[in-house]
Structure 1
Amino acid sequence: MNIHALRWRLVDSPGSWGAKRREARSRWLVETFPELPEMSVVDLGGRVGFWRRLPVRPKHVHVVNLEAPPAELPDWVEVSHGDACALPEAIAARRYDLAFSNSVIEHVGGHERRLRFAESVHALAPAHWVQTPYRYFPIEPHWVAPGMQFLPVAARREVARTWPLAYTPGRTRAEALSRVLWIELLDKTQMRAYFPDSVLRAEKAMGLTKSLIAYKLR
């Protein structure tokens, strides 16, 4: 088995360990918000595919991210181009039942932008669900590399460039460094600071906290 097939089996395939963790998280979302089928949701930084895979779907989903929208969308989804840390006024003025984000806040670029991101979450809806990988889980989730997040930047750059379980090994040093600098995993203290009125839930794997979910009910 080559290394890409190994990553597929461990993390990315529909029956992988990673997929099972994502399915469990989706069930938690539905259990936490049983009224989800009647809710309007703004998804900051997400993708339509997540909502297609849920066992139930919200009444309406508005995905806001920096990517081009899919060619075809179901009638219950809209997609807008926008920065979640500096929302266009047309989006910032709207209100939803639930603000949702999955593995985004660690990518937005530093404390100041994380504050702006959290402000968007709080302003857009009375309820929220914000998930992020936990800094002190021993395996860095983006590269599936043990302890990578604790290394100096130059060492992380080399792991990002050459580690075989990365999505795209063989990057140039400049490309690898750029990606490393745009990922900053968070801990519990940071999440409590950004979401002080939320419940902070720990997603466990092997008895250890793998990710954090800050959620607030209406």
Structure 2
Amino acid sequence: MSIGSTIRNQLVDSPTSLAERFRLRRWENLSATYPDLAEMHVIDLGGTVSAWQRAPIRPRRVTVLTFEPEGEQVDGIEARYADACALPAELRDLRADLVYSNAVLEHVGGAERRQRFAETVHSLADRHWIQTPYRYFPIEPHWLFPGFQFLPVAARVAIGRRWKLVHTPTQDAASMTSSVLSVELVGVTELRHLFPQSEVRRERFVALTKSIIAVKT
């Protein structure tokens, strides 16, 4: 394993990483916010079956809507192929107790699709928990590079091709450009615009906002 991979593993990828500690704290906060979570049907927009299998809490039923379904229903968790910004006709009557999404909003592809994502959230349940990394945290969370999100695309591509902490290293300019363009972090103002009836919570690291969550109970 390279030095870059070792550092990244310690920061975000391993079961004992800093990011994993944040994830565990987020599960605790989710459970505290919705004490009846174990009795709920939860729709997860953009998540994975395996993530719910590893989760320390388990709703009664989980439906994962994703571009990458992982097979048949397992332990009350099922995956359905769907674009969360444009639900297929067969899923438009789907309803649940809670819509959950973790670190997906920044990947859906521009302001218009984020608006459509929010409309999907509102259509599927009265309650929601929508988490996304905060645009103005100084370390961009996908590349682990300071201020990466504020640089021109060409600079981000050049850094991404050389930076040792990137998740999926590649020297291919086209692949890295696609990767760079697939992430667009948002701030509190946009999150409040998308979810005007929600409380916006902040996850902090050393007094700085690391992630923001739109919560409706």
Partner of 1:13: 14
Corresponding residue SS for 1:168: coil
Moved more, 96-105 or 159-168: 159-168
**CA offsets, 1:152-178, max 9 Å, x none?**
111011122221000122331111111
Residue 189 (structure 2) pairs with residue 186 (structure 1)? no
The letter of the residue matching 1:148 is F
Partner of 1:41: 42
TM superposition shift of 1:179? 1.1
What's the % identity of the aligned pairs?
Answer: 51
Q: Write the distance in 2 (CA, Å) between the matches of 1:112 and 1:154.
A: 24
The runs of 5 or more residues in structure 1 that have no matched partner are: none
Q: Write the distance in 2 (CA, Å) between the matches of 1:119 and 1:202.
A: 22
- RMSD between aligned residues: 1.2
Partner of 2:32: 31
Q: Write the distance in 2 (CA, Å) between the matches of 1:191 and 1:154.
A: 27
The letter of the residue matching 1:92 is R
The letter of the residue matching 2:94 is R
Partner of 1:85: 85
Q: Write the distance in 1 (CA, Å) between the matches of 2:115 and 2:190.
A: 10
The letter of the residue matching 2:33 is T
TM-score, normalised relative to structure 1: 0.96
> Runs of 4 or more off by more than 3 Å in structure 1?
none
Q: Write the distance in 1 (CA, Å) between the matches of 2:152 and 2:115.
A: 25
Residue 67 (structure 2) pairs with residue 54 (structure 1)? no
TM superposition shift of 1:109? 0.5
Q: Write the distance in 2 (CA, Å) between the matches of 1:100 and 1:82.
A: 15
The letter of the residue matching 1:158 is A
Moved more, 81-90 or 45-54: 45-54
Q: Write the distance in 2 (CA, Å) between the matches of 1:186 and 1:159.
A: 21
Q: Write the distance in 2 (CA, Å) between the matches of 1:33 and 1:120.
A: 21
The runs of 5 or more residues in structure 2 that have no matched partner are: none
Partner of 2:105: 105
Q: Write the distance in 2 (CA, Å) between the matches of 1:68 and 1:119.
A: 22
Cα gap change, 1:58 to 1:152, in 2 (>3 Å): same
Q: Write the distance in 2 (CA, Å) between the matches of 1:50 and 1:23.
A: 12
State the aligned residue count. 216
The letter of the residue matching 1:187 is G
Q: Write the distance in 1 (CA, Å) between the matches of 2:69 and 2:61.
A: 19
TM-score, normalised relative to structure 2: 0.96
Partner of 1:63: 64
